[in-house]
């Protein structure tokens, strides 16, 4: 273990991670059991018959009401995982009222964003039953692109307040870093993450005219300028290596494979996908099949992502020449965010889209500058 990483906090981080993992598994099992029960008991079929005479948008809207009990059942699990445990481990700054209000906003937003996709899916089911899986990937890609563009200006402000950062020296250094690689920014902002958590975060969000740097106030308060530049140089590394395009291509291919396999399985069930009522009744089964098929694909995508993240770390080191800043940043994030620095290999394979902190520190220590 690197000397910058606090052993006491790592013991705490492992307990924290285990408790979160357990509640994630419980949520997955409850959700799976509930959704499967909708299908196996015939409730899904009964509801689909009852609503099938309505126009498609209304019928789908009425059908999804059967998932409200699942939301209520999962509420105690979500509360314990996302609020109680965060409080217990000293990470949350939120009150119960603030957390609950965020959950309501997130649920409403999830419905507003998800309902059009469900409508699109059923439109493709009934109008292009043989090729819905291909058109569906294209439609969801365009929709995701639209959301990515709007995220920093419409969605993110629903949860956090943004303002231009006060540090003029840091602002100029960030601008110079991005100008060196001809990457335009709409602005450089801090956001009030401290109102919700003690964790630190930063991101390069949006596309084209909405692309902006977002730095958590917790990060700005705890990290020096060299460490913050390392964070952003990592994001620039993705741009230099064209990782977004590569990940996009790999993601599209994976989505085509996923939807095609799901299509081949689901057509074994009578009425799918061209019969609206039958397909609506099969929706729980469709969700389960999609989840099972996507699991190995997600593992493969995470492995590919870890490779690209390592490449971006190399670019960050080259651009900044700040090896010690990189190491202190990674160790600091592990200590502050209670991230396990050296997780077991199976956990990395199953759930890590980035190399764990310990491996990133090891990489920086061994890195040979050009």
* pTM for this prediction: 0.84
Instruction: Read off the pLDDT of each residue in 49-54 and give the average, rounded to a whole number.
Output: 92
Q: Is 115 in contact with 220 (CB distance < 8 Å)?
A: no
- Give the model's pLDDT for residue 70: 94
| Chain mean pLDDT for the chain | 90
pLDDT of residue 310: 93
Task: Return the pLDDT at 1.
Answer: 64
pLDDT in tens, 154-191: 888 888 898 988 888 888 888 888 887 777 777 888 99
Among residues 128, 227, 124, 245, the alpha carbon closest in space to that of 170 is found at 227
215/66 Cα distance (integer angstroms): 40
Categorize the per-residue pLDDT at 203 as very low, low, confident or very high, splitting at 50, 70 and 90. confident
Interval 214-243: pLDDT, tens: 899 998 888 888 998 998 898 888 888 888
Q: What is the pLDDT of residues 235-287, one digit of tens each?
A: 888 888 888 788 888 888 998 999 999 999 999 999 999 899 999 999 999 99
Res 241: pLDDT = 83
Q: What is the pLDDT of residue 139?
A: 84
Dist. CA 209–CA 189, nearest whole Å: 15
Given a cut of 70, is residue 22 above it in pLDDT? yes
Kindly report which listed range (26-30, 221-225, 311-315, 324-328) carries the lowest average pLDDT score.
221-225
pLDDT score for 99: 92
Whether 60 has a pLDDT exceeding 70, the answer reads yes
């Amino acid at each position: 273990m690197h000397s910058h990483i606090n052993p006491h906090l790592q013991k705490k981080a492992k307990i924290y991670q285990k408790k979160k993992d357990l509640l994630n598994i419980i949520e997955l099992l409850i959700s799976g059991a509930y959704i499967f029960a909708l299908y196996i008991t015939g409730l899904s079929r009964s509801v689909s018959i009852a609503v099938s005479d309505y126009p498609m948008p209304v019928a789908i809207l009425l059908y999804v009401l059967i998932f409200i009990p699942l939301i209520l059942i999962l509420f105690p699990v979500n509360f314990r995982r996302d609020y109680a445990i965060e409080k217990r481990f000293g990470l949350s700054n939120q009150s119960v009222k603030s957390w609950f209000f965020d959950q309501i906003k997130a649920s409403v937003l999830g419905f507003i964003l998800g309902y059009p996709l469900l409508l699109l899916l059923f439109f493709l089911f009934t109008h292009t039953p043989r090729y819905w899986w291909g058109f569906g990937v294209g439609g969801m890609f365009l929709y995701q692109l639209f959301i990515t563009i709007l995220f920093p200006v419409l969605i993110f402000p629903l949860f956090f307040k943004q303002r231009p950062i006060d540090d003029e020296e840091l602002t100029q250094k960030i601008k110079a870093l991005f100008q060196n690689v001809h990457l335009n920014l709409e602005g450089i902002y801090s956001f009030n993450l401290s109102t919700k958590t003690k964790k630190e975060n930063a991101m390069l969000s949006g596309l084209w005219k909405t692309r902006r740097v977002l730095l958590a106030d917790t990060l700005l308060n705890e990290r020096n300028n060299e460490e913050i530049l390392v964070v952003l140089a990592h994001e620039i590394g993705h741009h230099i290596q064209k990782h977004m395009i590569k990940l996009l291509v790999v993601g599209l291919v994976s989505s085509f494979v996923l939807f095609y396999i799901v299509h081949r399985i689901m057509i074994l069930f009578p009425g799918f996908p061209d019969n609206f009522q039958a397909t609506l009744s099969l929706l729980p089964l469709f969700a389960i099949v999609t989840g099972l098929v996507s699991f190995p694909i997600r593992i493969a995508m995470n492995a590919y992502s870890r490779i690209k993240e390592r490449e971006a770390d190399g670019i960050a080191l080259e651009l900044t020449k700040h090896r010690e800043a990189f190491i202190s940043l990674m160790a600091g994030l592990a200590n502050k965010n209670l991230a396990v620095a050296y997780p077991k290999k199976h956990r990395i394979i199953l759930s890590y889209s980035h190399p764990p902190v310990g491996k990133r520190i090891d990489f920086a220590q061994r890195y040979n500058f050009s």
